[in-house]
Structure 1
């Protein structure tokens, strides 16, 4: 079956001892070199070609400025300056970015504790003061309604401030308090 006579190397191979070696072991596998080439070198080459193509087209634009008529050359070109916060939509018209509503943090705010937890109104008033509200007064609440934490506003001019306060108080809802005879612009009832 075997055309060769068994020698000492065959016997060592059976015993799994590697006292002698016929070949030098490979240090780097060919697949590892290919992987590095694909993952590192190819993207770098593509990036370089892209930069070269972009710089080549930019130099062509500089070399060939667009032709203008004589009337365009004489009249000063006034272009409207768009604010930095606009983007252009597909039609080329600037789209205004939404802006944060301007809040009047000088509104009078009364925080009433109806939760039964000592100091809850004071802590909430302190938190609102830290957010810039200047006229915040803590107090106690003894009436039965509401059954959940509610932020009431006295008039429609304080809705944005009431919503801002409610988003900072866990589980708070905003409600119109114009018919309640509130003693402050915004009243927070903690439950």
Structure 2
């Protein structure tokens, strides 16, 4: 499953159809989302609404009756907070001894010098096409930031290294991370470049 927004899950065909299942959650609304600025590698907290979204994700998990054998989360506070709240709400760990494992490969894309800047003002300054090209093109990046292709490869390596072994064993995995990691990972899982 892939979390497409902060309250619903959509089934996604598992790459190579392993017997296990992977669930992905994007963090809830952060203070940078609320202020309409790029956070990227800035470590920001969830807002009150973001905490509510995390609780809703936990309720959704509980309703589905899912129990996790492994949990991976970005090192960033907004993702860790979302993970903690969702797991507390859902009580979805198969065992209380299962550690929540932090992996830096699923940290948000670096927006370089755009971090902390207002999205609308950058869009005006760069023009819509320049803004979109710099953020979403596989071969462009904000100055001192990451290309989408770089995020694609680190997310794919994380998936193959950490998630696939669980899936091969028929286990269920939760991954809590960020929009600009989930989008390229969805392409990877769909066998798209």
Band the TM-score falls in, shorter-chain normalisation = under 0.3
Between structures 1 and 2, the one with greater helix share:
2
Under a length normalisation based on structure 2, what TM-score does the superposition of the two structures give? Answer: 0.22
Under a length normalisation based on structure 1, what TM-score does the superposition of the two structures give? Answer: 0.22
Task: State the structure with more CA Rg.
Answer: 1
Q: Identify which of structures 1 and 2 has the higher relative contact order when contacts are C-alpha pairs closer than 8 Å and 6+ apart.
A: 2
